[in-house]
Chains A and B, each alone.
Chain A
Amino acid sequence: MGAGHAHRLYRHGHSPVHRLPAHTKLAAAFAFVVVVVSTPREAMWAFALYAVLLAAVAAAARVPAGFLLKRLLIEVPFVAFAVLMPFVAEGERVHVLGLSLSVNGLWGAWNVLAKGTLGVAASVLLAATTELRELLLGLQRLKLPPLLVQIASFMIRYGDVITDEMRRMRIARESRGFEARGVRHWGVLAKSAGALFIRSYERGERVHLAMVSRGYAGSMPVIDEVTASRAQWSYALALPCAALVVCLLGWTL
């Protein structure tokens, strides 16, 4: 609990993007990704334009490029998958440097790489500029069921606590000379997982009782009702609208 209550991807700041209401940003990011996904893959320049758009947002949010690029690393497993694709896909083949590659596979790899990277970059930007609580309230304002939002907020709030508990159990195991080396040690690890479940569940019961004793009756009070002005909406939706123009150009050209 010592680590503050911001999540790992959040980057504190006071830029115009940080100040936008969370639900407008959520809607904008989602619309942007939808537009990107429905762009034809042959329009390579369109993806370059999308990247420029995202770079502009990053600049407006004063998120440094290094930060953004480092967070993109989460995508690496799919890069590996995309690299495999030209080798296994069907269709006509071209020879590059003595390797026989499928044309369709190359297009597919490009498609997944470009769209996936843009999608990840959009979510990273969203997460970097939006605080956790705002994000959850934003989801609620976007008409996600309140119960789901509550579950999500409990998960986020106690995620660190539970992870810490798991870390302490690991330290306890290791300080007793245990080192998991193979399948034979799964029993011990699974017992830890079981104990972790019991602790989480019991903590849930205690949290519930604590909340009830403070007047919880099924819904969390919203103290700061955030509303978005028309200007804020249009500011946030500038990104997907610009993307939509690019997308339409991509389809027609």
Chain B
Amino acid sequence: MHVPDGFINAPTSAAAGVVAAGALAVSLRGARRELDERTAPLAGLVAAFIFAVQMLNFPVAAGTSGHLLGGALAAILVGPYTGVLCVSVVLLMQGILFADGGLTALGVNITDMAITTTVVAYAVFRGLVKVLPRRRRSVTVASFAAALLSVPAAAVVFTLIYAIGGTTDVSIGKVATAMIGVHVLIGIGEAAITALTVGAVIAVRPDLVYGARGLEQRLKLRVNGELVDAPAAEPAPAPVPAAARSSHRKLWITGLVASLILAGFVSFYASASPDGLEKVAHDQGIDQKEKPHANADSPLADYGVKDISDARLSGGLAGVIGVGVTVVVGSTVFWVVRRRRTDSDAPGSSVSQAA
């Protein structure tokens, strides 16, 4: 996925470079907060880890295999700022030392693969962890969703950059369909691996997982078969359960707004590509010679965006996939949350029975 030189034109590359430099400056500042004075060695070692783990092959089927991109994993394990830094440094070194990805395309690559994946992943992750009950399992679920969305988001950003400064006129619709389609699949793999890896780390060293901070359970003693709080940890018992139990309505509204934004964003971007129409029109058997808006009365017209403008009618495959994924993820999450809520409410006490 590394963009080579000459793929994106010079002004756009320069603009992306400025964006990347700005984001890196912010991250450098933020990373000091996340890791204090240990930043350099720890971030360096985590970058080395990301670099190594990208070489770990995960077999899919029939000889094909994939590997982790690592943006979401880095964000969850070491925090968003350090995550951006680590992935960017990996990209920088790959560009300079291994000639992987063009030098002028560094800005594009960093914006796309380091910043977008990390930021999107962390935003989704943080949101879900806030909403879900405070358990280890919900960290895993949240990392799954975060990684799942982060990869198509990078594809979306790439397509946007391509739309602004692409040097070939492959239609945006085609690029979008191909990029998003492929990356939704990659995202599923990334999500599974990220969730499994985060789960593996949490099982051994939960204190190392940045995203799971504040999830520590209080020490419990089993006295005569009953769980009792360990006596030493008395001082601050209050805020945890209160914060965790936000009401159903708040949960629903947050989730709904999140899916709306995501769906709106994805389909807006998909429909901002007038050329996506051609494929749709062709598939629907409409004569290609006609003006694009001639298929205003095609089946896709009641896609719900009729009144905006003709170009936006072209929801296209990409949009459908994007919205579909959002809906699936959203409803799965809601389903899980609801089941857990009813489960944990049933015993009547707020003590979570981890046994």
Contacts and interface: CB of A to CB of B under 8 A. Distances in A.
Interface of A: 7-9, 26, 29-30, 33-34, 36-38, 41, 71, 74-75, 78, 85, 88-91, 104-105, 107-109, 111-112, 114-116, 118-120, 122-124, 126-127, 132, 135, 145, 147-148, 150-159, 161-163, 165-166, 180-183, 185-187, 189-198, 200-201, 203-205, 207-208, 211, 218
B37 A218 contact: yes
A132 B93 CA distance: 10
Contact of A196 (B25, B49, B193): B49
A38 B58 contact: no
Interface in B74-109: 77-78, 85-86, 88-90, 92-93, 95-100, 102-105
B327 to A, nearest CB: 24
Contact of A204 (B28, B31, B41, B59): B41
Contact of B55 (A163, A192, A197): A163
B119 interface: no
Given A109-B168, A204-B41, 17 more contacts: A36-B5, A75-B4, A107-B168, A112-B7, A112-B168, A119-B104, A120-B4, A147-B40, A159-B52, A180-B57, A182-B59, A193-B193, A194-B197, A194-B199, A198-B208, A200-B46, A204-B42
Contact of B43 (A34, A112, A114, A151): A151
* Most chain A Cβ neighbours within 10 Å, of B28, B39, B46, B53: B53
A122 B103 CA distance: 9
Contacts of A158: 44-45, 48
B170 A204 contact: no
A37 B103 CA distance: 10
Nearest to B192: A186
Contacts of B4: 75, 78, 112, 115-116, 119-120
Interface of B: 4-7, 9-10, 13, 24-25, 28, 31-32, 37-49, 51-53, 55-61, 68, 77-78, 85-86, 88-90, 92-93, 95-100, 102-105, 167-171, 174, 192-193, 196-201, 203-205, 208, 275
B45 A190 contact: no
Contact of B103 (A9, A105, A119): A119
Contacts of B98: 8-9, 74, 127
B200 A148 contact: no
B97 A151 contact: no
Contact of A37 (B5, B41, B78, B85): B5
* Most chain A Cβ neighbours within 10 Å, of B6, B7, B56: B6
A166 B52 contact: yes
A35 B179 CA distance: 29
Given A185-B59, A196-B53, A34 B96 contact: no
B10 A208 contact: no
Contacts of A126: 96
Given A111-B168, A152-B93, A155-B48, A71 B99 contact: yes
Contacts of A194: 196-201, 203-204
A162 B197 CA distance: 17
A152 B104 contact: no
Contact of B46 (A145, A191, A201): A201
A183 B66 CA distance: 11
Contacts of A203: 45
Contacts of A90: 169-171, 275
Contacts of B13: 37
28 contacts: A30-B103, A37-B9, A37-B102, A105-B168, A111-B168, A112-B167, A116-B5, A122-B103, A152-B44, A152-B47, A154-B43, A154-B44, A155-B47, A155-B51, A155-B86, A162-B51, A182-B61, A190-B200, A191-B200, A193-B53, A196-B49, A196-B53, A201-B42, A204-B44, A204-B46, A205-B42, A207-B41, A218-B37
Nearest to A10: B97
B109 to A, nearest CB: 12
Nearest to A201: B208
B28 A148 contact: yes
A180 B58 CA distance: 8
